[in-house]
Structure 1
Amino acid sequence: MTNHHQPARGEPRVALVTCTALPDLDPDDRLALDPLAARGIAAEAVVWDDPAVDWSGYDLVVLRSPWDYALRRDEFVAWARTVPTLVNPADVVAWNTDKRYLAELSAAGVPTVPTAWVEPGDEWAPPAGTGEYVIKPAVSAGSQDTGRYDLADPEHRELAVAHVRRLSAAGRVTMVQPYLSAVDTAGETALLFLAGPDGLAFSHAIRKGPMLTGPDRGVAELYKEERIDARTATPEQLDTAEKTLAVVPGGTDRLLYARVDLIPGPAGAPVLVELELTEPSLFVGHADGAPDRLAAAIATHLARRS
């Protein structure tokens, strides 16, 4: 819940932006509160669409867990544009909350999961033959409205068509991607970057286990439990992440954080699944010193604005 205390004179105020379902923040984000307090920074959880909030009263507004924005993306982006001290900044939010940015990154030479895009109103049929595919909306948070389909199964083919039609009827762009089977064994690797004195720097990496077990049947489920483990990033993964970040519009110097999600492709080399610059879980609880590094990143951005 938002803390309405008045900070000590001269103490910088930071809003950690969340949603009504998580008024006290995600537990992982709360790990940064003590390191922030130790730096003399007054941080409080604030719900992004609370009309009573005076955003001008904060020295920095940090996006953390506003995970209900997906069905209200236009409203969310419009709100972001009213907050001048927002990090990551509003133009990054506008670009990154629509996963069609993957097409831009692919065109720039970043290895990405092959993706077909289905616009609302377009007819779509499953690819011929067999294989597994993932279907999800271009604007989404977590694994909401996301399903995994085995095209060798006639029922799955029908459910896949129904999924695309459901998204299309809601005016949403659909993504269709081959399911990369390596996620079932190697998992997904998330590389976390945090702002430092010399710009965005690698902080830590984690492994996420597979989450998609079958078709989406139209039941809303925003928060799914994830299996998370610490992981050591490989030089090849770090290189792919750096190549990805190098083509972020406007550069990375403005960013407080970035998360680069990778899966081994068919040949084993890492390919980009998502670039999370808006509201990613940072998994600071899975790496020694990471909560302090997040606090230091926030202090760095405060110093730039002073």
Structure 2
Amino acid sequence: MSDNQQSTRGRPRVALVTCTDLPDLEPDDRLLLAPLAARGVRVDTVTWDDPGVDWPDYDLVVLRSTWDYIARRDEFVAWAATVPRLANPADVVAWNTDKRYLDDLSAAGVPTVPTTWIAPGAPWRQPEQGEYVVKPAVGAGSLDSGRYDLADPDHRRLAADHLARLGAAGRTAMVQPYLSAVDTAGETALLFAGGPTGPVFSHAIRKGAMLTGPDLPTGELFRPERIDPRTATPEQLAVAEKTLTAVPGGSGRLLYARVDVIPGPDGSPVLVELELTEPSLFLGHTEGAADRFADAIVAHLRAT
């Protein structure tokens, strides 16, 4: 949006998009409200599936805690395609809401966790031993995910039951070896806020191990996490930058990005997930993070 357009419409108007279960956003996202107001931005909190919202009336629509889309992904992706000035863009949303994007990143040379994809009804030949993670290709918040020790007969049965449950719901499953370093080093999330030429590193946090055993449905939107600040290493930053470079269409269009890595068997960081749709930004865990993301929104507004 040009400065002239901005002046004729007055204060820029931004929608922070959530879901009906979190009508006032989740607490971390609310940390954006005061910095945006201080920058002269009018903010509305709206749910993505509210038919009464006039999306073209917003100067920017920012996806935040839309965590109920999992069971309605097709509807969510179709909705995103109708929204002007969506961040992140609708084609990114369509690509990033199915974790089979990991194959694209692996093909681009990004170190990723080896993944086997199991279509609904397809068999999985279980290894004789080793720990594996079973989770849906479309999912968030570690829900419908489990950790299985295949040397244990009960775990072998439970893993097969988990896959059957996902398949019966028409969901593609993914199976990955469990990286044991997460139990000690944890998972590192690197947060990026959009800059003039693409996302700029903002801060990093450590997440403790989330999966302690087989999948046990909780009925929650996400599983609680233990979060601590962390200093990103040069190796982690290098993997994150390589990951963002491989995003289809280029990373310059992104308002935000979260890159999650875990030490692999040799200690080098490997990509677990690239979150470009509705990731927690962990703004409350690093001083200045909310201001950096508010600045990124303002910059995005000026470029729109």
1:273-294 CA distances to partner (integer Å, 9 max, x unpaired)? 0000000000011111100011
> Which segment drifts farther, 131-140 or 213-222?
213-222
1:16-38 CA distances to partner (integer Å, 9 max, x unpaired)? 01001110001111111111000
1:86-117 CA distances to partner (integer Å, 9 max, x unpaired)? 00000000000000000111111110001000
Partner of 2:170: 171
What is the TM-score with the length of structure 2 in the denominator?
0.96
Distance 2:44 2:62 in 1: 10
Distance 1:215 1:43 in 2: 41
Partner of 1:290: 289
Partner of 2:14: 14
Instruction: Give yes or no for the alignment of 1:281 onto 2:280.
Output: yes
Instruction: Give yes or no for the alignment of 1:221 onto 2:188.
Output: no
Instruction: Give yes or no for the alignment of 1:59 onto 2:65.
Output: no
Matches within 5 A, 1:133-152: 133-152=132-151
Q: Could you tell me whether the CA contact under 8 Å between 2:14 and 2:61 is conserved in 1?
A: yes
Measured after TM superposition, the shift of residue 131 of structure 1 is 1.2
Partner of 2:102: 102
Instruction: Give yes or no for the alignment of 1:208 onto 2:189.
Output: no
SS in structure 2 of the partner of residue 71 of structure 1 = helix
Measured after TM superposition, the shift of residue 45 of structure 1 is 1.1
Matches within 5 A, 1:67-82: 67-82=67-82
Relative distance call for 1:218 and 1:162 in structure 2 (3 A) is: farther
Measured after TM superposition, the shift of residue 9 of structure 1 is 5.9
Distance 1:148 1:39 in 2: 45
Measured after TM superposition, the shift of residue 218 of structure 1 is 4.4
Distance 1:142 1:217 in 2: 14
Distance 2:119 2:127 in 1: 17
Distance 1:198 1:141 in 2: 28
Partner of 2:3: none
Q: Could you tell me whether the CA contact under 8 Å between 1:143 and 1:221 is conserved in 2?
A: no
Measured after TM superposition, the shift of residue 165 of structure 1 is 0.7
Relative distance call for 1:99 and 1:200 in structure 2 (3 A) is: same
Distance 1:140 1:127 in 2: 24
Distance 2:143 2:217 in 1: 9
SS in structure 2 of the partner of residue 253 of structure 1 = helix
Q: Could you tell me whether the CA contact under 8 Å between 2:143 and 2:217 is conserved in 1?
A: no
Measured after TM superposition, the shift of residue 220 of structure 1 is 3.5
Distance 2:195 2:293 in 1: 9
1:131-150 CA distances to partner (integer Å, 9 max, x unpaired)? 11100000001111101111
CA RMSD of aligned residues (A): 1.2
Matches within 5 A, 1:24-63: 24-63=24-63
Matches within 5 A, 1:244-263: 244-263=243-262
Q: Could you tell me whether the CA contact under 8 Å between 1:168 and 1:174 is conserved in 2?
A: yes
1:134-173 CA distances to partner (integer Å, 9 max, x unpaired)? 0000000111110111111111100000100111111111
Q: Could you tell me whether the CA contact under 8 Å between 2:181 and 2:263 is conserved in 1?
A: yes
- Where does the alignment leave 5 or more consecutive residues of structure 2 unmatched? 1-7
Q: Could you tell me whether the CA contact under 8 Å between 1:145 and 1:220 is conserved in 2?
A: no
1:189-218 CA distances to partner (integer Å, 9 max, x unpaired)? 000000123431100000000111110144
Distance 2:173 2:190 in 1: 26
The size of the alignment, in residue pairs, is 297
What is the TM-score with the length of structure 1 in the denominator?
0.95
Measured after TM superposition, the shift of residue 39 of structure 1 is 0.6
Partner of 2:156: 157
Report percent identity of matched pairs.
Answer: 73
Partner of 1:187: 186
Letter in 1 for 2:74: D
Distance 2:43 2:240 in 1: 30
- Where does the alignment leave 5 or more consecutive residues of structure 1 unmatched? 1-7
Distance 2:42 2:299 in 1: 15
Measured after TM superposition, the shift of residue 219 of structure 1 is 4.7
Q: Could you tell me whether the CA contact under 8 Å between 1:14 and 1:42 is conserved in 2?
A: yes
Letter in 1 for 2:99: K
1:211-257 CA distances to partner (integer Å, 9 max, x unpaired)? 11110144543221110000000000000101111110000110000
Distance 2:142 2:44 in 1: 27
